[in-house]
Structure 1
Amino acid sequence: MTVAKTVLVVGGSYAGHEAVQALLEHLPASLCRVVLLERNSHFHHVYAFPRFSVFAKHEQKALIPYTNLFRAAREGQESRFVQGSLVALENNVATYTGGAADDTGTIRFDYLVYALGAQRPASIDVGSHFATKADSMERLRQAQRAASEARRIVVIGGGALGVQFASDLVDRFGVGTKQITLLSSSARLLPRFDAAMHARAHAWLTKRHVDVILGQRAVSQRVDEGAGTAGATVITTTSGRVLLEADLVLDCTGLTANTAFLDGLVGTPLKGRPAPVNRYMQLLDEARSATATVPHVFVVGDAADAFGALNSGGNARHQADVAARNIAALAQGKAMCERYEPAPTRIKVSLGVHHAVSQSGSEVGYTDGLFRRGKEDLGVEKHWRRRGLSTSDMFV
């Protein structure tokens, strides 16, 4: 009798969710079981989190039930969802905690899809804890209250996230009602993209009196205890310029890959860097050689150093599909044949509710007044429907 092999997917966001679906599709039903280890009770649609940290009454929509996670499973195909946080990873064993200190367990696996993504800076990280839907909704509401109560807001970072936060803030509260500053260490906004993206975003923001400071890095932050400004944060930049005190600082300076658990599998600690992979999405152990792999471990999404691919949900899903197909081949004793090639640059950056700037390949576009029909919730209902879920009650 053949013993079923276990494929463990760690992390249930865009890459992990897609990995589960692709594994269910490509693995022989009787050959492998699929297990998802995910710390949250609901799928976090994190691309809506910045918007829902500013605009109220939509937070429930970004937290999508895992109800139909295994609906693609065929008869006889084993699958299991485990809510827990990974705490240790060995060659073929994952140890997790279920939230309480004494609530721990282990999962043995034959193949691993590592999809733990990346961590945002603490000031904007509303979804990185073991949580129920109610917990996550409250964290988003706390962010909304902080934005509403602040008079002086500094957004640090001129990438897509910083631009979206700054534009949503001015759109939500109105021009001139709050002092909003966007500080970027780069000489232009959206530096990874075409210069026309910067020009459009910069013009939109400055027209609405957002103070955009380019080419300056925040080198220190301190809480001012002086009279009249108690509790305010004072930021000093590389030029020595002191910004007006900020009641709220939103640090959008980038992501730190959640790769620490892979350190025990490779010879060189990753120290928060994305993990190196080959074109099959297998983890590389560069301490041994440039091509040495950990053959049963695949890394996808924001945790992977995937040949310059933009961190995006679409790229994460593509990488997960490549990994799943290759695992299916290995599990059946076949050679891997799926190789990952990054897609051309494609991004759309919202400028408030009604406008957006976009790039597809070398083409740059600007949407004026019609972006996603001006929906505050970014049309998030479609993500529910894609999972076969009703949108009649989005608090479930």
Structure 2
Amino acid sequence: MTSNGSVPPKTVVVLGGAYGGARAAQLIAAGLPDGWRIVLIDRNSHANHVYILPRLAVLAGHEHKAFVPYDNIFNVPEPKTDGKYVFIQAQIQSLSANSVKLSRAFPEHGVESDTLHFDYAVYALGSHLPSPLNLWHASPDGKPAAHSYEGNKAESIAWLRGKQRTIEDATSVLVVGGGALGIQFATDIAAVYPGKPVTLLHSRTRLLPRFDSAMHTEILQALESANVDVILGERLDLVTATPGHSTVRTTTGRIIHADLVLLCTGQQPNTEFLQALDSRTVNPSNSLAHVLRTTQLGLLSPPAQSIDVLESPALEQDDTVLAAALAEIALQDEALAESADDKDQDGAEDVEAEEMTPYPHIFVVGDAADAFGAIPAGHNAYYQGEVAARNVLRLIEGAGIPLEQYTPGVPAIKVSLGLKKNVYQVNGVVGVGKETRDDLNAASIWSYFGCPVADEAEMYR
């Protein structure tokens, strides 16, 4: 019972409001029947458009464009109708099978205590960003944060401006990690500060190894043209990467001069709440949640399956198709449909459909999910969010409707190479494009989060 004696509505909770969580929330909100409510919980006041953060951490003047208000995240005509669509900015403390504990109560939103009970949940908490872009856990200079970060827009903008000053003040920069994040950092720093020595260190002999070798070739040529010193096949000796020192070493003993080190590796899935809920749901070898093809949370078969995972530099496969994040996500539709047809023909889906789970009401999407080889990327989180949303609505409707199954699309990526050029791979085709906007067309993502932009001044809210 609520404080006024009424019976609380049945609840769908979405944990995390980034690309996958936002899409799931929008589709669920559009089809939610009377007597139900949807509650979206995120620790930030605004959606963080992470794909442009490397650019905005280097180039000043566009910081405000990366943080999109959650004002109309459900994208419904009347978002304030009877508390049916609720957004809460809160930090999650713990998760049980049918409730989530929050940092406090929110009676103004019908959440009378710090524990919110739910009937269905979509877990979309993604992964930790590497330290050069981890607003929650480090100050812009890489040192432990001096004060508590609250996830609001003003301090997010200030954080990026601090990172810009840190990079500007550095006499030389070492970028560690040859994934998309490292490549973008290195080429942007070289473009904005052409006289600053920049080194890119990558532990492998090939950049973006899950993509066509032509991607490696194009990126390497762009790095060399920007006078970035590229070192492949060597690892940083982390013991030598101490703040205040102007030199570091690789594990082979190579000396690199750099008074700023950007560690663009080590992205970790945010699955700690699932691990605490039931350790059988998270693979210890990669920290990813085991999911069924329906995107429902499942259990690993004992003993826990050991999955050989490619070493994955942070954000190595992260980006959307040919535009800032999800602006042109439709380019994947044909490939997804063809892949789904192939699965139907060979019967591979039938085996997955037989897997049982004690958590049929909990769905996991995005970077936290071990999603059948899908690369950790915004466009994949988007499609997984769609599958989860449609399945939640089918379960609510009942009547034994078969649940939809998820099949990943082919790997796709776009990586900016300095301020004027990019390289992409879509449907197996590698191409080179021109960047026409310094802000990487940031406004294109705002509509996705329910905030279409008619004038750039609107992006300050």
TM over 0.5: yes
3-state SS of 2:265 partner: coil
Task: Pick one of 144, 160, 179 that aligns with 2:180.
Answer: 160
* Separation of aligned partners in 1, 2:45 and 2:14: 15
The residue aligned with 2:339 is: none
Are residue 266 (structure 1) and residue 278 (structure 2) matched?
A: yes
Task: Pick one of 381, 387, 394 that aligns with 2:443.
Answer: 381
* Structure 2 segments unaligned to the other structure (5+ residues): 1-5, 106-111, 138-148, 306-354
Task: Pick one of 25, 30, 37 that aligns with 1:20.
Answer: 25
Task: Pick one of 97, 100, 116 that aligns with 1:94.
Answer: 100
* Separation of aligned partners in 1, 2:427 and 2:126: 25
The residue aligned with 1:146 is: 166
3-state SS of 2:256 partner: coil
* Separation of aligned partners in 1, 2:402 and 2:38: 19
Displacement after TM superposition at 1:218 (Å): 1.3
Per mean C-alpha deviation after superposition, the further-off stretch among 140-149 and 331-340 is 331-340
Displacement after TM superposition at 1:108 (Å): 0.6
Task: Pick one of 187, 190, 193 that aligns with 1:173.
Answer: 193
The residue aligned with 1:251 is: 263
3-state SS of 1:23 partner: helix
The residue aligned with 1:123 is: 132
The residue aligned with 1:133 is: 153
Displacement after TM superposition at 1:220 (Å): 2.3
Displacement after TM superposition at 1:104 (Å): 7.7
The residue aligned with 1:6 is: 11
* Separation of aligned partners in 1, 2:132 and 2:188: 16
* Separation of aligned partners in 2, 1:137 and 1:182: 27
3-state SS of 1:393 partner: helix
* Separation of aligned partners in 1, 2:186 and 2:202: 12
* Higher strand content, 1 or 2: 1
Mapping for residues 173-322 of structure 1, pairs under 5 Å: 173-174=193-194, 177-222=195-240, 231-232=244-245, 234-244=247-257, 246-268=258-280, 270=283, 273-287=287-301, 291-293=355-357, 294-322=359-387
Displacement after TM superposition at 1:131 (Å): 1.2
- Alpha carbons of 1:91 and 1:55: their partners in 2 closer, same or farther (altered >3 Å)? same
Displacement after TM superposition at 1:267 (Å): 3.6
* Separation of aligned partners in 2, 1:35 and 1:273: 26
Displacement after TM superposition at 1:347 (Å): 1.0
**TM-score normalised by structure 2 residue count:** 0.77
CA deviations on 1:97-136 (whole Å, 9 max, x unpaired) are: 159xxx9812111111000000022233125653111111
The number of equivalent residue pairs is 380
* Separation of aligned partners in 1, 2:267 and 2:201: 17
3-state SS of 1:366 partner: strand
3-state SS of 2:68 partner: strand
* Separation of aligned partners in 1, 2:445 and 2:371: 25
Are residue 342 (structure 1) and residue 412 (structure 2) matched?
A: no
* Separation of aligned partners in 2, 1:104 and 1:184: 48
3-state SS of 1:221 partner: helix
Displacement after TM superposition at 1:4 (Å): 3.6
Mapping for residues 356-395 of structure 1, pairs under 5 Å: 356-367=422-433, 370-371=434-435, 373=436, 375-386=437-448, 387-390=450-453, 391=455, 392-395=457-460
3-state SS of 1:116 partner: coil
- Alpha carbons of 1:98 and 1:76: their partners in 2 closer, same or farther (altered >3 Å)? closer
Task: Pick one of 420, 443, 461 that aligns with 1:354.
Answer: 420
Indicate if the aligned counterparts of 1:286 and 1:292 stay in contact, CA closer than 8 A. no
- Alpha carbons of 1:338 and 1:73: their partners in 2 closer, same or farther (altered >3 Å)? farther
3-state SS of 1:56 partner: coil
* Separation of aligned partners in 2, 1:209 and 1:301: 36
Displacement after TM superposition at 1:233 (Å): 5.2
Per mean C-alpha deviation after superposition, the further-off stretch among 39-48 and 262-271 is 262-271
* Separation of aligned partners in 1, 2:212 and 2:271: 30
> Aligned letter for 1:277?
V
3-state SS of 1:295 partner: strand
CA deviations on 1:16-47 (whole Å, 9 max, x unpaired) are: 1111101012322x042100111111111111
3-state SS of 2:210 partner: coil
**TM-score normalised by structure 1 residue count:** 0.90
Displacement after TM superposition at 1:210 (Å): 0.6
3-state SS of 2:460 partner: coil
Task: Pick one of 34, 37, 43 that aligns with 1:39.
Answer: 43
3-state SS of 1:112 partner: strand
* Separation of aligned partners in 2, 1:254 and 1:242: 22
Indicate if the aligned counterparts of 1:168 and 1:352 stay in contact, CA closer than 8 A. yes
The alignment-based identity, stated in percent, is 41
Displacement after TM superposition at 1:76 (Å): 6.2
The residue aligned with 1:328 is: 393
The residue aligned with 2:144 is: none
CA deviations on 1:317-350 (whole Å, 9 max, x unpaired) are: 1100100100111112133421111111211111
3-state SS of 1:40 partner: coil
RMSD of aligned Cα (Å): 2.4
Per mean C-alpha deviation after superposition, the further-off stretch among 154-163 and 3-12 is 3-12
> Aligned letter for 2:267?
L
- Alpha carbons of 1:172 and 1:92: their partners in 2 closer, same or farther (altered >3 Å)? same
